[in-house]
Structure 1
Amino acid sequence: MSKLLIVGTGIKGAASAALLRQHMPPNKSVFMWDKARGPGGGNYIHYFVPTGGRMSTKRCAENPAITADLGAQYITLSKEYSSKRQSLYSELQSQGILKPMQGKVEGPNNFDLPGAQHFVTPDGSSSLVKYFLQKSGAYIKYQHQVSEISFENGSPVSVTTHEDITEDFDIVVLTLPVPQMLQLRGSLHDYVGNHPDVKKKLLDVTYSSRYALALFFPPQTDLKYPWCVKYVSDNPCVRYIAIDQARRGEVSPSQGLSLVVHTSVPYGLAHLEDDLNSVRDEILSHLSGILPELPTPLSVVPHRWRYSQVHQAYEGTPGCVVLSRDPLIILAGDAFSKSTFDGCIDSAEAVLKAVMNQLGSS
């Protein structure tokens, strides 16, 4: 076995690739395919850093020096994981990827549990994904959106993109949202259909949806709030607000600031197919009621998170599912664990175990 493909360059795929590179023999090659357009582009709109999933950093079109994390806002190391992951968190802090969050969190939330530690990414959440991608040494190809996966017992896996690019691999790991996995054509689709127990568990996986707004403010703007993160419990639309630079501990009004707003999940689900600009205007209307003194932004960028977080995970949360052993095809990601950073690492560790078991038995 010489070629392994990971589909998806988000945090799940990147962490899996980094772990595999660390433990696999050097003659085994790791490839990664993603539908993003490449550095400087992204999956959705211009200026996204193409790291997939919810770890996306947006740059202001008018002033690219001003950034905003539209997805994951901070990483919580719970007491449950404090000893298991201490070395990883120490490594990420020593490399400047993570640092403890210092600002005040206001409002009721489910993350301030006893023994929990909060961390932020000073260079944006995308830097965390980039770190793992760099460690992986993987051969990354962008603009490779997989449309079909076919295989026969004992033969390589044939992977085809929407652009009709086809390549064979010995091992394939899918880290896409489950609905996108189920849309793939080829014998993979037939294989899932012939295993009703697995298919039912995949169909039972559900996701939360929400909207995010990035408000960019010109230099010299001063957002005078006592918090860096504010949770809102009494609004039908807005659930979360953050001053992005204050959350990272790097407030510099002379360089411009950004405000990030997340809607509640019920609002996101109810308006999932609405016009994006109409949703933007409605969110801004609610925001003005919560922060009536908010200055006029330089620009506002809305984003729809169709697969925001896993609401109901794959039964038993196994970390990954080995769909086929010969050839080895693995389904992985937070759908098989939990929608947290540590949940993604759990999935990556499960992928590593499955691959190493296969290599050891071959």
Structure 2
Amino acid sequence: MSRVLIVGAGLTGSLCACLLRRELQVKVHIEVWDKARGAGGRMSTSRPPDPSSHSADLGAQYITATAAYTRSHHSLYSELLSAGILQPLHGLIEGLRQRDDTKDYVTPLGTCSVVKHFLSESDSVDASGADLFFERHVTGLFRRGASWEVQRKQGDSEMFDAVVLTMPVPQILQLQGDLGHFLSAEQQHQLHQVVYSSRFAIALFFPPDAILSVPWVAKYVTDNSCIRYVAVDSRKRNADTPGLGPSLVVHTSVPFGMEHLEWDKEDIQPIILKELHKLLPGLPQPISIKCQKWRYSQVLTSVPGCPGHMTVLDQPLLVCGGDAFSHSNFDGCVESALSMLSVLKASLTAAP
């Protein structure tokens, strides 16, 4: 039985595992590894230390679907809407440039619920399912005949017949071993052209009696060099629950994130909070605060041509994917997962 490793339990990796389980006709052992302690990647939902507050989305905030993608990805949107994972966004987002051919969706349980849904659909109920492992940080790839030896930061290396890499491109390029030997000069050039934005995000968790008196569910800020976006996250997600305090999410601007990228979160947090209190004077005292640094926030420059994936080696298969190979939103990740699925199906079906 072929062994397939998908590195990265974000949207692209989780959907790839789900679709591979659903559509592959041959029995394959699938594993999904992520270096974090939980799934989601940049679709991250943070739970407060105190259970009396709502959770908060520190990464992706909502999903915007064009009419074209609503049609081409109809089955996935229908699945997520039917399961209650997605709901139409109804609240006011101040400063949002709405287009006539788009529709916005929110996730009542947090954006991470999309990833968890696809991972649950790929769970190992039989030999074609997927096994999920956290805190497995891949450090190197070494070709061993018809297999890949995958080394991780802690623990023994393991052998796989096919490897799918969905982490940010700079992390792919940092891998030790044989990857660099098999990348062509053109592929290396294309990968080095990928550019990401960077930013900081802060979640503030409030007690149940806190009142956030703003007319919007989220707001794009245009006159502040530090803060770009603020959301009453629980309200934005249609998730206000009696007895739970609201949560507030703040994203910095890209220039601020780039300028302070190497600063510690502990030094950045008070700067952001000072600017936040200028924007929202009289803000109640939160129970707790969490600060997140997104070194690889959104893809500003994708791999040329947006191919969806990059096949590094056919046998044993090594393929790279993610939003850097398409575009940086939900449908871009879907396009990449579908692109890699076709390569995996062809390779694994042809395998002896």
TM-score, normalization by structure 2: 0.95
Answering whether residue 131 of structure 2 is matched by residue 145 of structure 1, we say: no
SS in 2 for 1:343: helix
- Is the 1:222–1:253 contact (alpha carbons within 8 Å) kept by the matching residues of 2? no
CA distance in 2, matches of 1:264, 1:174: 29
CA distance in 1, matches of 2:70, 2:21: 25
- Tell me the amino acid that sits aligned with residue 127 of structure 1: S
Residue matched to 1:191 = 182
CA distance in 1, matches of 2:240, 2:160: 47
1:99-145 deviation per Cα after TM superposition (whole angstroms, max 9, x unaligned): 111111101x45x1112111111111111110000111211122211
Q: CA deviation at 1:64?
A: 6.1
Answering whether residue 159 of structure 2 is matched by residue 159 of structure 1, we say: no
Q: CA deviation at 1:356?
A: 1.5
Structure 2: runs of 5+ lacking an equivalent: 124-129
- Tell me the amino acid that sits aligned with residue 291 of structure 1: L
CA distance in 2, matches of 1:249, 1:66: 11
- Tell me the amino acid that sits aligned with residue 304 of structure 1: K
Please, which of 104, 107, 131 is the counterpart of residue 92 of structure 2? 104
What does residue range 250-265 of structure 1 map to in structure 2 within 5 Å?
250-252=239-241, 254-265=243-254
Residue matched to 1:68 = 56
- Is the 1:79–1:115 contact (alpha carbons within 8 Å) kept by the matching residues of 2? yes
- Tell me the amino acid that sits aligned with residue 339 of structure 2: A
What does residue range 107-256 of structure 1 map to in structure 2 within 5 Å?
107=95, 109-110=96-97, 112-137=98-123, 138-152=130-144, 155-192=146-183, 195-252=184-241, 254-256=243-245
- Tell me the amino acid that sits aligned with residue 17 of structure 2: A
- Tell me the amino acid that sits aligned with residue 217 of structure 2: C
Q: CA deviation at 1:87?
A: 2.2
Q: CA deviation at 1:251?
A: 2.3
SS in 2 for 1:351: helix
Q: CA deviation at 1:255?
A: 1.1
CA distance in 2, matches of 1:277, 1:326: 46
CA distance in 2, matches of 1:5, 1:349: 17
SS in 1 for 2:243: helix
Higher alpha-carbon deviation: 207-216 or 157-166: 157-166
CA distance in 1, matches of 2:149, 2:52: 40
Shift of the 252–360 alpha-carbon distance from structure 1 to 2, 3 Å rule, reads closer
Q: CA deviation at 1:346?
A: 0.2
- Tell me the amino acid that sits aligned with residue 155 of structure 1: A
- Is the 2:21–2:122 contact (alpha carbons within 8 Å) kept by the matching residues of 1? yes
- Is the 1:79–1:114 contact (alpha carbons within 8 Å) kept by the matching residues of 2? no
CA distance in 2, matches of 1:52, 1:258: 19
SS in 2 for 1:211: strand
Residue matched to 2:256 = 267
Q: CA deviation at 1:166?
A: 1.2
SS in 2 for 1:255: coil
> Percent same amino acid at aligned positions?
45
- Tell me the amino acid that sits aligned with residue 153 of structure 2: H
RMSD: 1.4
CA distance in 1, matches of 2:216, 2:155: 50
CA distance in 2, matches of 1:298, 1:360: 53
TM-score, normalization by structure 1: 0.92
- Is the 1:217–1:297 contact (alpha carbons within 8 Å) kept by the matching residues of 2? yes
Higher alpha-carbon deviation: 24-33 or 324-333: 24-33
Q: CA deviation at 1:65?
A: 4.9
CA distance in 1, matches of 2:281, 2:52: 27
CA distance in 2, matches of 1:150, 1:156: 9
Structure 1: runs of 5+ lacking an equivalent: 37-41, 43-49
Residue matched to 1:15 = 15
Answering whether residue 74 of structure 2 is matched by residue 86 of structure 1, we say: yes
- Is the 2:53–2:246 contact (alpha carbons within 8 Å) kept by the matching residues of 1? no
CA distance in 2, matches of 1:306, 1:253: 35
CA distance in 2, matches of 1:160, 1:20: 24
1:191-220 deviation per Cα after TM superposition (whole angstroms, max 9, x unaligned): 23xx21110111111110000000111111
CA distance in 1, matches of 2:207, 2:275: 22
Shift of the 53–35 alpha-carbon distance from structure 1 to 2, 3 Å rule, reads same
Q: CA deviation at 1:292?
A: 1.1
1:37-62 deviation per Cα after TM superposition (whole angstroms, max 9, x unaligned): xxxxx3xxxxxxx1242111111113
Q: CA deviation at 1:236?
A: 0.3
Residue matched to 1:45 = none
- Tell me the amino acid that sits aligned with residue 196 of structure 2: Y
Q: CA deviation at 1:305?
A: 0.5
